[in-house]
Structure 1
Amino acid sequence: MKFNPYLNFPGTAEDAFNFYKSVFGGDFLMVQRFKNMPDADKLPPGVAQMIMHISLPLNNDTILMGSDAPAQMGFKVIAGNNNYISVSPDSREQADMLFNGLSAGGQVEMPIADTFWGAYFGSFTDKFGTKWMINFQQS
């Protein structure tokens, strides 16, 4: 199981990650824009070019990940809600166990389910206010 920091930005993810890349070096593993998701034609104006997901390896064990959380889609990024702990479990069963256990008494943002990007994913805020993402990448 791996743990990685996940950062949200109010439309500045690309600038932030280009800055981080200039400091840490390396190459992005993935850059996905909102325009690449299903039903992208229904996105609010100004969102299509924003970053849906970006990842930059920091070392062999840690990947810095992030995305834009557009106000046009109802998000409000403020200090304290722009950080997640992203957990990459070893199996769907472990993903379910972690999601169900950690989200108990908290608030689910996205129920754990298969996604269009090929992962089994869910996100929530636990009962102590910590934000989590469970992301089992299926092979």
Structure 2
Amino acid sequence: MTQAIAYLGFNGNCADAMRFYERALKAKLEVLMSGAESPMAEQMPKEFLHRILHARLVLPGGGMLYAGDCPGGAPYEGIKGVSIALDYPTTAEAEAVFAALADGGQVTMPMQAAFWAKRWGMLIDKFGTPWIVNGELQPF
């Protein structure tokens, strides 16, 4: 079965972001590989060995989120044109995750009722990742 998995790019703070997401999303960080820990360590410039080459976060229910730091010296423009959407079976779960992700970030649409979910909201977290959080999806 093919799955679409978001791969987030960061500029040297991937490890901090993924540890934050592990706590906020009640997930499990299974991989957090730096350049120094990779099979390519010998070929990498020493000043970039601390950067994360690959991270894998497993969400409750089996979904995944991947991430890494952009290559050292490459231009970084942030995360643009996409939001990570999360659906929760209850409004309480959605509200809790929304609050955790919003800590230190910017709420762009407070949690509220919508025709597709009993509660939904949008935010950009302190690492620059845009999120949409839905609680109790409704048929439409």
**TM-score of the superposition, structure 1-length normalised?**
0.50
Change (3 A) 1:15 1:80: closer
The CA RMSD over aligned residues, in Å, is 2.5
Structure 1 ranges of 4+ moved more than 6 A: none
Partner residue, 2:76: 77
Q: Structure 2 matches for 1:56-135, cutoff 5 A?
A: 56-72=57-73, 75-80=74-79
**Contact persistence 2:21–2:27 (CA under 8 A):** no
> 3-state SS of the aligned residue for 2:45?
coil
Partner residue, 2:125: none
Number of aligned residue pairs: 82
Change (3 A) 1:25 1:17: same
- In the alignment, residue 33 of structure 1 is paired with which amino acid? S
Bigger RCO (CA 8 Å, 6+ sep): 1
**Contact persistence 1:54–1:67 (CA under 8 A):** yes
**Contact persistence 2:58–2:65 (CA under 8 A):** yes
Structure 1: gaps spanning 5 or more residues:
84-139
* Offset from partner CA, 1:91-135 (integer Å, 9 cap, x none): xxxxxxxxxxxxxxxxxxxxxxxxxxxxxxxxxxxxxxxxxxxxx
Identity between Structure 1 and Structure 2 (%): 22
Partner residue, 2:113: none
Structure 2: gaps spanning 5 or more residues:
83-140
- In the alignment, residue 79 of structure 1 is paired with which amino acid? G
